[in-house]
Structure 1
Amino acid sequence: MEVPYFFRGLLIGLSIAAPVGPIGLLCVNRSLSGGWLRGFISGIGAACADAIYGCIGGFGLTAITSFLTSNKYWLQTFGGMFLLYLGVNAYKTAPVKQNNIGHTGSLVSSFLSVFALTLSNPMTILGFTAIFAAFGLGNGGDIFSTLQLVLGVFIGSALWWLFLSSLAAYFKDRLNDKKLELINKIAGIIIIFFGLLAILT
């Protein structure tokens, strides 16, 4: 029996979001410093960006794809510099022990920062284009199947960020301030490393 496109997208979304990288570290850092909701909203920013790239790849929007890939260097440099800023900020941010759900402003900035950071990696769209081509999509011909796949990608990615932010918040309540601060600093240093890597490569 053929697996519905939605469930295929769900698995793709999970597999794209799950590997450890700067976005995952930011999600953990923000869950520790500002509560699980702030970490989750950060992850939703990445999920929305993935869904947008999924739409571009799935509907065969070649003009946008060409623009993004031809400006890969500048986008990657911007992303690297933004990572440096976020890494320094993560390093300096002190963890908050109480269950702080975050102010609306901080939640919006958490969403937008990760959304912009994910969009600054144009190589993501090439991955989506390859995935959609493997399923016989990508030319905009089968709109319903493409929408199912994109929706599945978004929900799969969102589920991963919900799991990760909740897990980080769970351990946050079981660690003392010194350990939380150490984890934050380590996460900040690694994010800074990813930023330097993006700029120099």
Structure 2
Amino acid sequence: MEIFYLLKGMLMGLLIAVPVGPIGILCVRRSLTEGRHSGLFSGLGAATADALYGSIAGFGLTFVSAFLISHELWLRLAGGLFLVLLGIRTLLTQPPAKSCQENRIATGQKKSSMLRMYVSTFFLTLANPITILSFASIFAAMGMAGAKRGYVPIIIMIMGVFIGSSAWWLLLTGVISLFNLKCNTEVLRWVNKISGTLLTLFGLVAVLSMYL
């Protein structure tokens, strides 16, 4: 029976992670410019945040979800401004005069850099508390909200959420990494321009949505 809860959680994690958004753009850009490990650690940060929000929804921690949702505008503002700054920084970043593979070897293995990328996407994902509502509705539809069937099934499903979300980022960064040997400085320059523009637009939309 536990395997079904795990599979349900994995499906939930995939459904939450797959839609294209700023996190996906970040992971793709980091995978191309800094190596697969950079993109994967970025994705794991998002997967951890998804699992945390899934825990809040699954265990029926209404006081936590109510607090986060009541401060949604401020969280969205913080996340939006972060995206704008990150987008502008990406636009202004000049790729090094070395191949993607050389760049991966030079920078992709730095532990401090990996931690920074993990933390950045973790908090960026947390800046969207509406994710809690998505998990809450799914848990409620399954009759799982508030630990109605005990804590063990919920814990197993939350583990599945993390595994499912992580699996998506592992697949995405794995596919993207196949292009590492083929790209060059000019390609990386365009990657920075496109991803920087998209990140900035995502951030501006998040900020402007406060006034709509």
What TM-score, normalized by structure 2, do the two folds share? 0.90
1:134 alignment partner, one of 125, 141, 164:
141
Query: Does structure 1 residue 170 correspond to structure 2 residue 172?
Result: no
Pairwise CA distance, 1:91: 2.2
Letter in 1 for 2:207: I
Please name the residue that 1:121 is paired with. Answer: 128
The 3-state SS of whatever aligns with 1:39 is helix
Please name the residue that 2:190 is paired with. Answer: 182
- Quick one: distance in 2 between partners of 1:92 and 1:162? 28
CA deviations on 1:116-161 (whole Å, 9 max, x unpaired) are: 0000101000111001101101112321111111111100100111
Please tell me whether the aligned partners of residues 83 and 192 of structure 1 are also in contact (alpha carbons under 8 angstroms): yes
Query: Does structure 1 residue 156 correspond to structure 2 residue 164?
Result: yes
- Quick one: distance in 2 between partners of 1:102 and 1:189? 27
Letter in 2 for 1:170: L
CA deviations on 1:2-31 (whole Å, 9 max, x unpaired) are: 970100111111111111110000001111
For residues 6-155 of structure 1, the aligned pairs below 5 Å read: 6-93=6-93, 94=95, 97=100, 98=102, 99-100=104-105, 101-141=108-148, 142-155=150-163
Please tell me whether the aligned partners of residues 29 and 90 of structure 1 are also in contact (alpha carbons under 8 angstroms): no
* RMSD of aligned Cα (Å): 1.6
Letter in 2 for 1:152: G
- Quick one: distance in 2 between partners of 1:102 and 1:22? 23
Runs of 4+ deviating beyond 6 Å: none
Please tell me whether the aligned partners of residues 40 and 165 of structure 1 are also in contact (alpha carbons under 8 angstroms): yes
- Quick one: distance in 2 between partners of 1:3 and 1:109? 34
The 3-state SS of whatever aligns with 2:60 is coil
Equivalent pairs counted in the alignment come to 201
Instruction: Specify every segment of 5 or more residues in structure 2 that has no aligned partner in the other structure, as ranges.
Output: none
CA deviations on 1:69-105 (whole Å, 9 max, x unpaired) are: 1101100000101111221222233266223323111
- Quick one: distance in 2 between partners of 1:90 and 1:151? 33
Pairwise CA distance, 1:38: 0.5
Pairwise CA distance, 1:164: 1.1
- Quick one: distance in 1 between partners of 2:56 and 2:90? 32
Bigger Cα displacement from structure 2, 85-94 vs 129-138: 85-94
Please tell me whether the aligned partners of residues 31 and 39 of structure 2 are also in contact (alpha carbons under 8 angstroms): yes
What TM-score, normalized by structure 1, do the two folds share? 0.95
The 3-state SS of whatever aligns with 1:172 is coil
Letter in 1 for 2:116: S
